[in-house]
Structure 1
Amino acid sequence: MKKALSSPKTASIRTSVYRYQNILMVFGLILSFSGGSWDITFHILSQPESFFSLPHSLVYSGILLVISIFLINFRKNFSEAKPIKSNNILILAGIVLILTAGPFDFSWHLKFGLDGLLSPPHLTLLTGWLLIAIGNLKITNIRLNGTKKKKGETDNSGKIINSWEFKSISQGKVPHDKESIKIQNKVDWDDKIINGGGAQLYQLQLFLNLSILLMIISGFLYFFSLPFSETQSYNFNPPPDLAILVYGVGFPILFSSYFLYILCSYPELKTMVPLVGTFYVIITLITQISSNSYLSGYLGYYLLNLIPFFLYYLANLRYSFKIVSSKTETQNIDFKKKNTIPNLTSKYAVLGIIFALLSYSLCFPLNTYIYNEEMYGYLIYQYVVVYVYQMIFSENFMIILPMSALAGYIGFIISQTSHLHFRNKV
C-alpha cells in the first residue's frame, strides 16, 4: 500500500530533482563558499565568533543543499554510464571530505580554541568543494556536448547520432556487445529526461560551474598567502616572501590561464569570460567589501573592474579571436596526423597578460594584507586599508606590473599547452 502511494509521486520528484541536480549542487557550493569568504571579513572585523553566525549559516546551508540533492538520486547517480558515474564518484569523494571537515573542525576548536584561516579542517572543506566543483563541471560538459547532436552531428549515412556514438564511430568502434548497448540505453534515457532542460540550462550551469571553480582555486591561493593563520596555539602563517610569491605569481597565472582556458574550450560562448569575470567581482564585492563598513564606500571603485570584461565582450563581437590562422584550417586540419599543432594566436598572449594585470585590482582588499606583511609590517586598522593599498601600488608598481605580466605570459603558455594536449585527444 505504501509503495503504491509513494512510488509515482516519488519517481516524479526524483526525476525533476535529477534534471536540475548539478545546477542545484553548484548553487549550494556558491552559498557555502560565499559564507566562507564572508567569514574572513567577520574575522578581519573581529566580529564575535559563534557556531551560528550568519557566515557560518550560509556555509551550512550550502553544504546541506549539496549533500541532500546528491543523495536524493544516490542510486541513479551510480547506475549511470561510465563517464557520468566516474564524475559522480569524484563528487561523492568531495562530499565525504565535507562531512569529515565538520567534526574535524569541531574537535580542532575544542583542542586549540579559535583557529586561523589555514588549518587542516579548513583545507579539508576547501578540497571537498574543489572535488565537487570539478565533478560537476565535467558532467556539465558531457551534458552540454550531448545537446550538440540536435545541431546535426551525423554518421556517414547521414543519420543523426549522439556524442557517445559519434566518438565510438570516429574511433572505428561499432557498438554490438551487451555493455555497449547498456551504455547506449542510458544515453537514450538521458536524452528524454536530462536533455529536456535544453542547452540553455547547461550553459547556465556551465557559467556557474566555471565561476565557483575559479573562486575555489583562488581560495587555495589565499590560504597559502594571507597572514591570518596565527593563533595562541600555533602559527601557520606562510613566510612573507613565500606569501608574496604565491599571491604575486599565483593569481596572475590563474587569471591568465583560466580565462584563456574558457576561450579555447568554449569559443562559441562569447559571453562566458565576461560573465565569469563579473561573477568574481560581485562575490568579492558582497563578501569582502560591502560587508565591511570601512570599505563599503569604495564599491563604485571596485566595480570599475567590470570595464575590461565589458570591453573584451565588445571586442569579441567585433573581432573573432581565432585559435588558428584561418577558418578553413580550423575545419580541415587533422591534429593527430600533424607533427606540429597550430599555436594559439598572439592575441591570446596579449589577452592573458591583460587578465593577469587585473589581479592587483581584482584581489582588493585581501592583497593589501599580503603585501603589507612583507613590505611594511604595519598593524593595519580598517580605516587605513585603502591608503596602504594605494601606497603599496604607487611605491612598488615597477615590481608588481612586470611580475604580473610575466606571470600572465606563463599562464598563456600553460593554456596553450593544455589546448594542444586537448586537441591531440580529440
Structure 2
Amino acid sequence: MVSDPKPALGVIRINLSKGMDIYILNFNGELSPSLSSSSTLLWIYFLVALGVALQVGAANWDIIWHGVVNVESFFTPPHTVLYSGVGLSLIATVAGIVISIKQKSSLKNSFAIFHKIPHPLKLIALGCLVELFSGQFDNWWHTNFGFDGLLSPPHLMLISGMLLSIIGALIGTHLFESCRKFKIMSEMICYGILWLIAINFVFMFTLPFSEGQYFDFNPSPTAALILGSTLPSIFTAIIFYSLQNLKFPFRMTVVTATLMVIQSSATITSNNYFVGLLPLYLLNILIPITLDVISIFTQSNYKVSVKSNKDHKRIVFSVAISFFFVTFYFPWSVNMFKSFFGIDLVTFESVLIFEQLLWKFIIPILMPVSFMSAFLGLLIWKKLYECSKLSNIFKVVVE
C-alpha cells in the first residue's frame, strides 16, 4: 500500500495491486476527486438513473398506450416522456464530463483528457448516443414502415442504450466512498432500474406484441415459453445476490419498491383496465419486507448467525424473491405464455389469462422451473465472477 505524498485537497490516494475490489479502489484513486466533486458526480449518476427510469417507464406505458389509443405516430405522450428521460440523462452526462475535464486542467492534449474521464461516464455517454440515434431511427421507421411492434431494430437499440446507461450509473455510484447514505440509496435505486430493464429485455423476445405494419417479429411460442420460464428468475436472482452486500437493512425492499413504483405508474395506474388492481399489486412489497426482516433477525441473533452460512443465506434470499416474478411483472409476465397455450385474450384481459394459467402451468410447472433456473443461474454466475481470466479482463477495463 502506497499513499500519495501530495493528495488532492486532503483526499488520500491509495494504490493497491491485487484483487478485483483493489482495482476498483485503484480506479477510483486515479480520479483523485475532491470531496465536493465526488458529491457532484454522485448526483450526476443519480440524475442519469432517474432519466433511465423515465425511459423504461415510458416504454412500458407506450405498450399500454398503443392498446388503449391505437395511435400509429411517433409523437405520443409516452414518447415525449421517454425522450425527456434521454435528454435528462444526456444533460447530466455532459455536465459530468465537463466537471471531470475541469478537474484535469493540467492535462494538455485532448487524448489525455478523454483518458481521464471516468469510465462509467464514458459508458453512460455511449448509452445516451445509442438512445439518441434510436430516436431518429424510430422516427424514420414510423415514416417508412408505419406502426412497429414491441421488438423492432429501433426499440432494441433503445433498450440497449438504457442498459449501457444504467450499468454505467451503477458502477459510477458503487465506486464512490463519500456521501455514504446517499450513495447506498442511489445504488439500490440503480439496482431496481437495472432489474426492470433486464426483465424488459426478456419481454422484447417473449411477448407476442411484435407484429408491425410491415414486419412480424413475434417470437416462437415455444421459445417464448422457455425464455420466459427461465431468464426472469435468473436475472432477478443475480441482481438480488449482488446487492446483499449493501450496508442497509431493508435493501431488498428499496430495490423492489423502485421497480414497483415504475411498473405501477407506467402499467397499472395508466389505464382504466388495471387501476383497480393497484391495491393487490402493492401487496408485492410484503415479500421483500419479510425477507429483509428475516435477514435482520439472522444477523442479530447470535446463535442463528453462527449456524448459518452467509453465502447460503444470500442464495436463499435471491432465489426466494425470484419465485414471485409473475406478480412483480404483471401483466406482462402472464402474456409471455398465452400463445403457447392458445389463449386468445388481449393484454387488458390479463387477469383472465392469469386465472387460466395458475393451476395448469404457473404453480405445477413455472414455479419449480423458476426455482431451478434461479439456483443454477446463481451457481454459474458465481463461477464466472470467480474466474481469474474474467477478473483480469475487468481490471483492464477499469484500470
Same fold (TM over 0.5): yes
Pairwise TM-score range, normalised by the shorter structure: 0.7 to 0.9
C-alpha distance in structure 1 between counterparts of 2:345 and 2:291, whole Å:
39
Aligned to 2:84: 61
- Structure 1 counterpart of 2:121, one-letter code: N
3-state DSSP of counterpart to 2:339: helix
Residue 161 of structure 1 corresponds to which residue in structure 2? Answer: none
Greater C-alpha Rg: 1
Q: 1:394 aligned to 341, 355, 359, which one?
A: 359
1:408 — aligned with what?
374
The 1-side partners of 2:73 and 2:223 are apart by 32
* Equivalence for 1:44: 67
- Distance (whole Å) between structure 2 residues aligned to residue 364 and residue 74 of structure 1: 38
TM-score of the superposed pair, with normalisation by structure 1: 0.73
1:38 and 1:95, CA in 2 relative to 1: closer, same or farther beyond 3 A?
same
CA separation of 1:16 and 1:252: change in aligned 2, threshold 3 A: closer
| Cα separation, 2, equivalents of 1:380 and 1:282 | 24
CA separation of 1:269/1:17 partners in 2, compared to 1, >3 Å: closer, same or farther? closer
User: Counterpart in 2 of 1:281?
Assistant: 260
- How far off is 1:380 after superposition? 2.5
CA distance in 2 between counterparts of 1:83 and 1:234 reads: 44
For the 8 Å contact 1:344–1:416, the answer to whether it is kept is no
Q: Which of residues 292, 295, 314 in structure 1 aligns to 2:293?
A: 314
Q: Which of the numbers 183, 201, 207 marks the counterpart of 2:182?
A: 201
| Secondary structure at 1:348 match in 2 | helix
Tell me which amino acid in the other structure corresponds to 1:22.
Answer: Y
- Name the residue aligned to 1:20: 43
Maintained 8 Å contact 1:95/1:128: yes
Return 5+ residue gaps in structure 2 as ranges: 1-36, 105-112
SS in 2 for 1:399: helix
Q: Structure 1: state its 5+ residue gaps.
A: 1-13, 148-197, 328-342
Post-superposition Cα deviations, 1:103-122, rounded to whole Å, max 9, x if no partner, equal 11111111110111111111
> SS at 1:20's partner residue?
helix
1:261/1:233 CA distance change after superposition, 3 Å: same
Provide the residue aligned with 2:145 in structure 1: 112
Aligned partner of 2:122 in structure 1 is 89
In the alignment, the residues of structure 1 paired with residue 92 and residue 322 of structure 2 have an alpha-carbon distance, to the nearest angstrom, of 36
What is the aligned counterpart of 1:370 among 330, 336, 349? 336
Write the distance in 1 (CA, Å) between the matches of 2:257 and 2:347: 29
Deviation of residue 46 (structure 1)?
4.0
TM (normalized to structure 2)?
0.78
Q: Which among 77, 101, 123 is matched to residue 134 of structure 2?
A: 101
Q: Secondary structure at the match of 1:118?
A: coil
CA gap of 1:240–1:83, structure 2 versus 1, over 3 A, is: farther
In the other structure, the counterpart of 1:298 is 277
Distance in 1, matches of 2:372 and 2:202, equals: 18
Give the AA of the match of 1:299. Answer: L
CA deviations on 1:141-185 (whole Å, 9 max, x unpaired) are 111xx33xxxxxxxxxxxxxxxxxxxxxxxxxxxxxxxxxxxxxx
| Alignment partners' CA distance in 1, 2:387 and 2:310 | 12
CA distance in 2: counterparts of 1:17 and 1:352, whole angstroms: 33
User: C-alpha deviations, 1:234-256, integer Å up to 9, x for none?
Assistant: 11111011011111101111111
Shift of 1:381: 6.5
CA distance in 2, matches of 1:133, 1:346: 28
Q: What letter corresponds to residue 385 of structure 1 in structure 2?
A: S
Q: 1:107 to 1:402 in 2, by over 3 A?
A: same
- Correspondence for 1:254: 235
Q: Measured at CA, do residues 138 and 18 of structure 1 come closer, stay the same or move farther in structure 2, by a change above 3 Å?
A: closer
Paired-residue identity, %: 26
Q: CA offset at residue 419 of structure 1? A: 5.4
Shift of 1:386: 0.6
- The residue type paired with residue 120 of structure 2 is N
Q: Specify the alignment match of 2:10 in structure 1.
A: none
2:229–2:369 contact (8 Å) kept in structure 1: yes
Q: Output one character per residue of 1:365-417: Cα deviation in whole Å (capped at 9) or x when no partner.
A: 112221111102414362x3212211111222211121111112123313433
Confirm whether residue 136 of structure 1 aligns to residue 169 of structure 2. yes
Which residue number corresponds to residue 213 of structure 2? Answer: 232
Q: Once structures 1 and 2 are overlaid, which stretch shifts more, 414-423 or 371-380? A: 414-423
Shift of 1:309: 0.6
Matched to 1:116, the amino acid is G
- Distance of aligned partners of 1:19 and 1:351 in 2 relative to their CA distance in 1, 3 Å threshold: closer
Residue 350 (structure 2) pairs with residue 385 (structure 1): yes
